[in-house]
Amino acid sequence: MIVIEIEKPGGPEVLKVVDRQRRRPGPGEVLIRVIASGVNRPDVQQRRGLYPPPPGASDIPGLDVAGIVEEVGEGVETLQVGTPICALVNGGGYAELCLAPAVQCMPIPRGLSFIEGASLPEVFFTAWNNLIWLARLAEGETLLIQGGASGVGMAGIQIARHLRRATVFATAGTPQKREICLSVGATAAFDYRGAWDDEIRDQTHGLGVDVVLDGQAGPRTQRQLDLLKPDGRLVFIASHDGETAEVNIRSLVRRRLTITGSTLRPRPAEYKGRLARELVAQVWPLIEDGRIKTYIHQAVDFHQVRDAHAILDDNRQIGKVVLVVDPTMAATVPEPLPALQLT
């Protein structure tokens, strides 16, 4: 099978198309014939040598795919050969064939193509895991999403708006990206290089926000804590601007603030399976009726993977970049499945 390998840490030029031995699914796994594969920020970090795969995971990049079940492992009763699915995978998505735990497979929401299906898992799992499970975002709360025009950001804005009726503030680096944040449901969007905290204080009559979702960390950490209301939660999903920060503990204690964070990739299949079931039950119906949307910045041919990574390196994307592995099928909308029961 053809796969994309990271030859050594570096720029997009280290991505190489190579041939590898096909693998068989183990117990509880399926082998997916990949039609489209999502490109996510963690793939770029892995290519740069900054985010090594956890023990036991594939060294091939790619954390989400859409395709057709090719082979079913022992004990998998819910999926059959030929079923169209999208899946969160533990690596290995940049390939013609990819293994996935069956519990991490989901139906492609009705009316979406394989390209759109591949754009969903990583960003919606991450947004749900961090906003709903970790931050416990409650009905009607106020939220700040830093980097709102990212894949995770746009998923998060929509989940917060439609499933928690939250007031969402966002930041983004360009006027066009701030406009996109507003179009998916943010109340206001600001330049993250400016006085976003003062602007949000103004707009909330000095109250601030209940939750901040941030992937940068570093020097702005205290500004984010200062913006939280009492009992507020600051959730980190990465630390691109610095792994350490000095914070005022007295202020944190006085206002009962929580600082937390997570990475999805090392979590066990059982955990990801529970996330999958919640997404299918609560988010997929809103995608199917058009209230929640996925935004494809560009679908890029598998063999042009370096171009796909260059887009993310320059932060040119709004929403998702997707690799087209099978161009004959990628834009096809698969037949809706009878309710797919996940194990």
Ligand X SMILES: NC(=O)c1ccc[n+]([C@@H]2O[C@H](COP(=O)([O-])OP(=O)(O)OC[C@H]3O[C@@H](n4cnc5c(N)ncnc54)[C@H](OP(=O)(O)O)[C@@H]3O)[C@@H](O)[C@H]2O)c1
Contact residues: ligand X, CB under 6 A: 40-42, 122-123, 126, 146-147, 149-152, 171-174, 177, 192, 215-216, 237-238, 240-241, 262-264, 312, 315, 317
| Cα torsion 216, 222, 228, 231: sign | positive
Query: Smaller CB distance to ligand X: residue 123 or 132?
Result: 123
Which residue, 73 or 156, is less far from ligand X as judged by CB?
A: 156
> Which CB sits closer to ligand X, 85 or 312?
312
Q: What are phi and psi of 334, to 5 degrees?
A: -70, 155
CB of 208 to ligand X, least distance (A): 18
Distances (CA, A) of 112 to 77, 86, 149, 173, 316: 25, 11, 21, 29, 24
Q: How far is the CB of 217 from ligand X (least distance, A)?
A: 9
User: Looking at beta carbons only, is 78 or 315 nearer to ligand X?
Assistant: 315
Of 152 and 227, which CB lies nearer to ligand X in the complex structure? 152
CA distance 164 to 140: 6
Identity at 145, one-letter amino acid code: I
Answer whether 125's CB lies under 8 Å from 272's CB: yes
Chain-centroid distance, C-alpha 24 = 27
* Residue pair 195/169 in contact by the 8 Å Cβ criterion: no
The rounded distance, in Å, linking the Cα atoms of 341 and 335 is: 16
81, 106 Cβ separation under 8 angstroms? no
Measured from the CB of residue 199, what is the shortest distance to ligand X in angstroms?
14
DSSP secondary structure letters along 188-226: EEEETTS-HHHHHHHHTTT--EEEEEES--GGGHHHHHH
Q: 123 or 279: whose CB is closer to ligand X?
A: 123
Least CB distance from residue 147 to ligand X, whole Å? Answer: 3
With beta carbons less than 8 A apart as the criterion, state whether 322 and 300 touch: yes
Closest distance to ligand X from the beta carbon of 172 (Å): 4
Query: Which residue, 62 or 147, has its beta carbon nearer to ligand X?
Result: 147
Give the residue nearest to ligand X (CB). Answer: 215
Task: Give the residue from 266, 299, 256, 269 showing the smallest Cα distance to 115.
Answer: 299
DSSP H or E segment with residue 269? helix 269-278
Question: Please, which residue, 6 or 31, has the CB nearer to ligand X?
Answer: 6
Asked if residues 40 and 87 have their Cβ atoms less than 8 Å apart, the reply is no
- The token pair at 294 is 């996925």
Nearest approach, Cβ of residue 136 and ligand X (Å): 17
- Least gap, CB of 272 to ligand X (angstroms): 11
